[in-house]
Chain A
Amino acid sequence: MERLEKFEDWARACMHVRCGFCRENCPAYSQLQLDTYAAKGKMTILYHLLKGKLELDEAVAERVFACTSCGLCDVACGYNQSEAIHEMKTVLYDQGVAIPEGYMKVSTKTRESGNPYSVDANEGARFLQSLPESELSTADYTLFLGCTQIYRESNEIGSLLKILRAAGVSFRIPTEQICCGSPAYRVGDEAQAREQARRVTNLFERMESDNILVSCAGCYRMLIHDYEILLNDDAKFKITHSMEFLQELVQDDKLKIRPLNAIITYHDPCHLGRHSGVYEAPRQILSSILGVKLVEMEWNRKFAKCCGAGGGFRSGRGEDAIAIAANRVREAEATGASILVTACPFCLRNLRDGAQSVNSQMKIESVESLLAELV
Chain B
Amino acid sequence: MLDHSKLEKSLIDIVGTKYVSSELCDRLVYSKDYSIEGIADDYTPDIIVKPGTVDEVAEVVKIANQMNVPIYTWGGGTSMSGNPLAVEHGIVLDMKRLNQVLDVDPDNLTITVQAGTIIENIYNAALDEGVFFAHHPESSLSSTIGGALSCMGISIYGAKYGYVYDQVLAMEVILSSGKKIRIGGKSYLSLPTHNLLNLFLGAEGTLGIITETTLKVYPKPPTRDRISYGFPDITTAIEACKEAHAAGCWPETVFLFDRRSLVQYMERSKTPIPDEVSMAVLFGASGCIEMVETTLAVIAKCSKEQGGSELPQDITQSWWNSINIGKDTFDQSNFALSHTEYEPDLVDACVPLSRFQEYSDFCDDLKKEFGWVDIDFGAFIVGGPRGPIPFCIYFSVPIDTRIKAEVDKWFQFKERMYRRALEMGGSLSNANGLGLRSSPWVQDQLGSAWDLLTDLKSLLDPKNILNRGNRGFSS
Contacts and interface: CB of A to CB of B under 8 A. Distances in A.
Contacts of A77: 336
B32 interface: yes
Contacts of A18: 32-34, 77-78
Contact of A21 (B21, B34, B335, B340): B335
Contact of B336 (A24, A35, A79): A79
Interface residues of B, number: 46
B322 to A, nearest CB: 12
Contact of B337 (A15, A60, A78): A78
Chain A contact patch, size range: 35 or more
Nearest to B333: A21
A156 B78 CA distance: 46
B141 A34 contact: no
Interface stretch (B22-30, B188-196, B249-257, B381-389): B22-30
A302 B330 CA distance: 11
Interface string B339-353: 110111000000000
Nearest to B48: A34
B32 A44 contact: yes
A54 B24 contact: yes
Interface in B31-84: 32-34, 39, 48, 50, 76-78
A129 B142 CA distance: 53
B461 interface: no
B331 A16 contact: no
Grouping DSSP codes into helix (H, G, I), strand (E, B) and loop, the B interface class, with mixed when no group exceeds half, is: loop
Interface in A14-71: 14-21, 23-24, 32-36, 40-41, 44-45, 48, 53-54, 59-60, 63
A302 B327 CA distance: 12
Interface in B339-394: 339-340, 342-344
A344 B25 CA distance: 34
B87 interface: no
A230 to B, nearest CB: 27
A17 B28 contact: no
Interface string B226-262: 0000000000000000000000000000000000000
B28 A44 contact: yes
Nearest to A57: B25
Interface string A64-97: 0000000000011111000000000000000000
Which 8 residue pairs across A and B have the least CB separation, nearest first? A20-B142, A19-B335, A9-B340, A16-B343, A13-B339, A41-B29, A78-B337, A44-B29
Interface of A: 9-10, 12-21, 23-24, 32-36, 40-41, 44-45, 48, 53-54, 59-60, 63, 75-79, 302-303
30 contacts: A10-B336, A10-B340, A13-B337, A13-B340, A16-B342, A16-B401, A19-B34, A19-B78, A20-B76, A21-B325, A21-B330, A21-B335, A23-B76, A33-B97, A34-B29, A35-B77, A35-B94, A36-B29, A41-B26, A44-B25, A48-B25, A63-B25, A75-B330, A75-B331, A78-B268, A78-B333, A78-B334, A79-B336, A303-B327, A303-B328
